[in-house]
A and B are shown apart, each in its own frame.
Chain A
């Protein structure tokens, strides 16, 4: 069973830049894992941000971007806003199964 690992928590200042990563226990994350990123705020359903590594949904703010960084998938927030404080989850396709990362709690302080 593949394990997907994210930073448990990160803190960023308003207006700053932060990168969240998503690693697979099976090795390098490639585009074939179709990395997805989601934002979840307390009491709400997850909201899709990025699909297939770097594609944005129509509602995804421009300050969010997805990429492959080394052997991981990455989500970068540039010009962080207070409303970006949330839990962020990555999702990887692992051959007949989908696996979520454990989530990164992003604090904007």
Chain B
């Protein structure tokens, strides 16, 4: 069974940092592209970042470029999102999503709250 489990969310002050993790199981993680998507409270979905299966190709949304860093460790079946210089508008549930045949599997999300 494919599973994606996010962790690392929490309350952080503006300007602070947080590292999210996404633990993958039930499939060959190293064969799949992955994405981070976020959803602010009561709002729609926003794509955050993409990473290719090998990690050689990376894209970011303009809203996080220069502040967030996506990475993966295929040996540990894990995806990461390092978030620096956090702002109030980064408050959201953060989901990891597998890009197989479409974006087929999603985790349940981890909540990041940026507030003083």
Contacts and interface: CB of A to CB of B under 8 A. Distances in A.
Interface stretch (B10-18, B70-78, B83-91, B105-113): B105-113
Interface in A31-77: 34, 36, 38, 40, 45-48, 50-52, 55, 57
Given A1-B62, A57-B101, A87-B44, 4 more contacts: A36-B103, A51-B101, A57-B102, A96-B59
A76 B107 CA distance: 26
Interface of B: 35, 37, 44-47, 50, 59, 61-62, 95, 97, 101-109
A51 B59 contact: no
Interface of A: 1, 34, 36, 38, 40, 45-48, 50-52, 55, 57, 87, 89, 91, 96-103
Contacts of A87: 44
B43 to A, nearest CB: 9
B10 to A, nearest CB: 19
Binding site secondary structure of chain A: strand
A51 B47 contact: no
A98 B45 CA distance: 11
Given A38-B45, A96-B59, A100-B45, A46 B102 contact: no
B101 A97 contact: no
Given A52-B102, A55-B102, A57-B102, A91 B47 contact: yes
